[in-house]
Structure 1
Amino acid sequence: MTKIVSHEALNQLYDAPHPLAESKEIMHLEEHAIHFIKHSPYAVIATTDKAGFNDVSPRGGEPGFVKVLDPHTLAFADMSGNNRLDSLRNLIDNPKMGLLFMIPGIGEIVRVQGSATLHTDEALLDRFYEGQKRPKLVVKINVETTLFHCPKAIAFAKLWSDDHKVDRTFLPSLLKIIQDQVTSSI
């Protein structure tokens, strides 16, 4: 087996990308990306810790839980979770982040990359009330790149297909899984 260690060796394995694929990455949010994000109830965020390890974390809410403040800025509230704060700590150490926005039933994905900052401004927090609950902080992202991904991965996985929904009974509850993992690591 040969280890690929250079861009040149990698490029020899693949055809050149189509010019449209190369040019679809833009430096702001345009009308279609804005419309998609406003309808998205789910995003996956990627951050990097001090040691250089990537962390990927799901975020969800009502469609539009990630707000488009302008064509160069997104924001979302950090609502209470498990309080590990992995992503938030990572953003303090390294503000670069990536986001994948998804809408159930739609194969395309919007990818955004940018630099994030954490905020506790009263006026900004007030924009993110969820019911009677106000967030502790808001993550603002200065958008550096945006692109639409083609739907191949979603189609191959049949992610939105009712015929491919899995009966959860093969897997114990999350609580049971964590209890077993903690017990086995002692």
Structure 2
Amino acid sequence: MSQISEPKQLDELYNEAHPLALKKEIDELEQHSITFIEHCPFIIMSTSDKNGFADVSPRGGDAGFVKVLDSKTIAFADTAGNNRLDSLRNIVERPKVGLLFMIPGIGEVVRIKGTASLHSDNETLDLFVENNKPPKLVVKISVHKLLFHCPKAIAVAKLWSETNKVERSFLPSLLNIIQDQTQASS
């Protein structure tokens, strides 16, 4: 098959989207998306790097680590990581983000497109204090679009199936992987 380079070529390959599939994208949080977010312990955040490439980063915490501030705004604390700050730098320079909310055992996911900003004021930090310690900063996202995505990909991957879990033994530790990769590139 030749490379697809025009949207028209896609239209020739696929049927039109069902009207409900198009209509399900909404522009603010409502009761079901709020409930989903309040129970969600894991998100994947997409930003864009300085070269225009998508950059994807996982974020996690106890269910509800992402807080709904109002029908157009969500927020989460930045937690300690490797200090590369890729996503945070991307947000400062190119604030458009995509988020994928996932709950173990639930097939559906929530997708959000929005504009992110970083905040370090005490009032915002105080919303995320843990063990009497505020975070260094909070990521706020102004929601532009959201939708519930069907569970087909998670079902096909059997992502939440106990019988589909992979034994880690085929892969060395992350430290060994990084050491091997950095020695190979020296």
**Aligned sequence identity (%):** 62
3-state SS of 2:35 partner: helix
Distance in 1, matches of 2:28 and 2:12, equals: 32
Map 1:63-102 to 2 at 5 A: 63-102=63-102
1:7 aligns to what? 7
Amino acid at match of 2:14: Y
1:108 aligns to what? 108
Amino acid at match of 1:179: Q
2:16 aligns to what? 16
Distance in 2, matches of 1:170 and 1:132, equals: 41
Map 1:1-186 to 2 at 5 A: 1-186=1-186
How much has 1:83 moved relative to structure 2?
0.2
How much has 1:50 moved relative to structure 2?
1.6
User: How far does the alpha carbon of each residue in 1:20-65 deviate from its partner, in whole angstroms, 9 at most, with x for none?
Assistant: 0010000001110000000000000000012101100000000010
User: How far does the alpha carbon of each residue in 1:106-131 deviate from its partner, in whole angstroms, 9 at most, with x for none?
Assistant: 00000001001110010110111233
Task: Using structure 2 for the length normalisation, give the TM-score.
Answer: 0.98
The unaligned stretches of length 5 or more in structure 1 are: none
3-state SS of 2:177 partner: helix
3-state SS of 1:29 partner: coil
C-alpha RMSD of matched pairs (Å): 0.8
Give the 4+ runs in structure 1 shifted more than 4 A.
none
The unaligned stretches of length 5 or more in structure 2 are: none
Distance in 2, matches of 1:51 and 1:71, equals: 32
Task: Using structure 1 for the length normalisation, give the TM-score.
Answer: 0.98
Distance in 2, matches of 1:130 and 1:11, equals: 50
How much has 1:5 moved relative to structure 2?
1.1
Amino acid at match of 1:53: F
3-state SS of 1:111 partner: strand
Instruction: Name which of structure 1's ranges 132-141 and 101-110 shifts more when overlaid on structure 2.
Output: 132-141
Distance in 2, matches of 1:173 and 1:133, equals: 31
How much has 1:134 moved relative to structure 2?
1.8
3-state SS of 1:17 partner: coil
